[in-house]
Amino acid sequence: MELMVLLNALVTRLLFVLHSLIGVWRVTAVKKDPKYWLLALLNLLLCLETGLTLKFKQGRGYKWFSPAIFLYLICIVPSLWLLEIHHGTQYCGNEPGAVQVNVSNQDFNQSRDSSHGSEGTDHHIIQTAKVFVNQLSTICETVWTLALHQTFLLLLVVGRWLLPIGVEITRDQLSQLLLMFVGTAADILEFASETLDIEDVRKNYTLINAILAVWTWSMLQFPLDLAVQHIGCKASTSARRIPSLLLCRYSAELWNIGVSLFIQDGPFFIVRSILMGHFRIFNQMLVFFTAKNILVVTLQLYRLAVITLDFRATVLQKSRKGEVCCCPCEPYEAHAHATGHQENEMKEFVAFPPKEESQDPSEDH
C-alpha cells in the first residue's frame, strides 16, 4: 500500500512538471527568445515540495491544503499569461487546424515510404518524430493556447484524484470535492475562452490583463479542501461565541458560499457587467452567462439567509429550554462525555449503596 502511495505521489507530480514544461516550450516558440526557458526553473519548487512530502509525510497530503496543486499553479499560470497576452494569439491565419493535421499524416506516409527501403526502423522512428514535432509547431497558436487551458484544468482534477489523501479527509469527501472541481473547471474554462475570444477585448490590453487576473484569482480555490471539511472547534469556547459556533456547524457550506461570491461567480459577474455596461460589448453567450452568474449569486445569498435563520432558530430554542449550546460539530463526543459521567455516577451508587437505618426491636415498641 505504501508503494502505491509513493508511486501516485511521484507520477502525479511528474505529470505536473511535464505539462508546465510544454507550456514553457510554447512560450519560447511563440516569443522566439530562449530566455523564457528560465520559467522552467519554477519547477524546482515542485521538486523541493516532492522531496519534503516524501520525507515527512510519506507521500500523503496535508489537511485543508494541497501544496503540489498550488505549486503547479505557480509553474503553469505565467506561461498561460504570456501566451494570452502575446499578439500572435489574437488571430489565427489558417483557422481549420484539421487541414494541418491531414498534411501531417501525408508527411508521415511520405517519410515512411522513403525510409522503408533504404534505412532501418530506428531511422524511421527518428524521422517520424521529427515530422511530428514540426507539425506540432505549425499548429495555430490559438489552438495551442486553448489546448493548454483544457489540459491544465483536466490535469488539476485528475491530479487531485491521483494525489494520495491525508488522514484528515475521507474518500467520500474526496469524491464530493472532485465533482465540485469538475463543474468549477468547466465554468472557469468557459469564462476565459468566451471573454478572451471577443475581438474588442483582444484590442484592449487592460481588459486582457483584468480578465486574466480574475481567472488567476479563481484558480486559487483548487489547492483548498475546505469545501468538504468541517473546522473543528472546542465546545467550551464555541458555546460563548455565536460566530464561532456558526462557523463550526456550517463551515463547509459557508466556504462554498464564500468561494462562489468572492472567488468565482461574483468576480465573473462583475467582469461581464463591465464588458456590457461600460464597453458596450454584447453577444448572446455573454448575456446568457451574465444571467447565470446573477442567478447563482442570488441563490447563494438565499442559501446564506436560510442557514443564518436556521441557526438563529436553533440557538433561541435551546436558550428557552435552558440548555447549554455546545458545538454541533462534535455531538458524539459531547454525548459520550455526558454518558460516561452518568455511568461513573451509577457505578459509584452501586459500589456504595446507601446505609439502611438500623431498626431496634425496642424502638418499634
Over residues 351-362, the pLDDT tens digits come to 445 444 444 544
* 54 grid coordinates: 516524501
Structural domain boundaries of the chain? 1-90+140-227, 230-324
Say if residue 271's pLDDT is above 80.
yes
What pLDDT was estimated at residue 225?
78
Over residues 320-348, the pLDDT tens digits come to 776 555 554 444 344 444 445 444 544 44
What pLDDT was estimated at residue 97?
43
| Mean pLDDT computed over 53-68 | 84
Strand pairing partners for 65?
224
**Cα Rg of the chain (Å, integer):** 30
HSE on the CB side for 334, CA within 13 Å? 14
* Least-confidence region, from 28-42, 167-181, 284-298, 321-335: 321-335
Arithmetic mean of pLDDT over the chain: 78
Residues 6+ apart with CB under 8 A from 176: 227, 228
Give the other-Cβ count within 10 Å of 251's Cβ: 18
Task: Give phi and psi for 224, each to the nearest 5.
Answer: -100, 145
| Mean pLDDT computed over 88-104 | 46
- For 223, the 3-state DSSP assignment is coil
Residues 6+ apart with CB under 8 A from 17: 43, 46, 47, 75
More confident residue, 275 or 129: 275
Over residues 144-167, the pLDDT tens digits come to 899 999 999 999 999 999 988 766
Over residues 190-217, the pLDDT tens digits come to 999 889 988 889 888 999 999 999 999 9
CB 112, CB 243: distance < 8 Å: no
Total residue count of the chain as it appears in this document: 365
Give me the amino acid identity at 13.
R
* 242 grid coordinates: 455565536
Task: Give phi and psi for 164, each to the nearest 5.
Answer: -60, 140
What pLDDT was estimated at residue 120?
56
CB 5, CB 60: distance < 8 Å: yes
Task: Give phi and psi for 323, each to the nearest 5.
Answer: -85, 155
d(CA 24, CA 77): 10
What pLDDT was estimated at residue 63?
76
Helices (H), 220-360: 235-238, 242-249, 251-262, 265-277, 284-321, 331-351
Place of cell 458560499: 257
Strand pairing partners for 224?
65
CB 289, CB 190: distance < 8 Å: yes
More confident residue, 16 or 311: 16
d(CA 205, CA 258): 30
CA 162, 167, 173 angle in degrees (round to 5)?
Answer: 65
* 107 grid coordinates: 508527411
**What are the strands, taking DSSP E only, across the chain?**
none
Give the other-Cβ count within 10 Å of 47's Cβ: 12
Say if residue 94's pLDDT is above 60.
no
d(CA 272, CA 30): 29
Most confident of 1-15, 52-66, 99-113, 210-224: 210-224
Say if residue 98's pLDDT is above 60.
no
Residues 6+ apart with CB under 8 A from 206: none
Q: What is the pTM of this model?
A: 0.76
Chain-centroid distance, C-alpha 165: 14
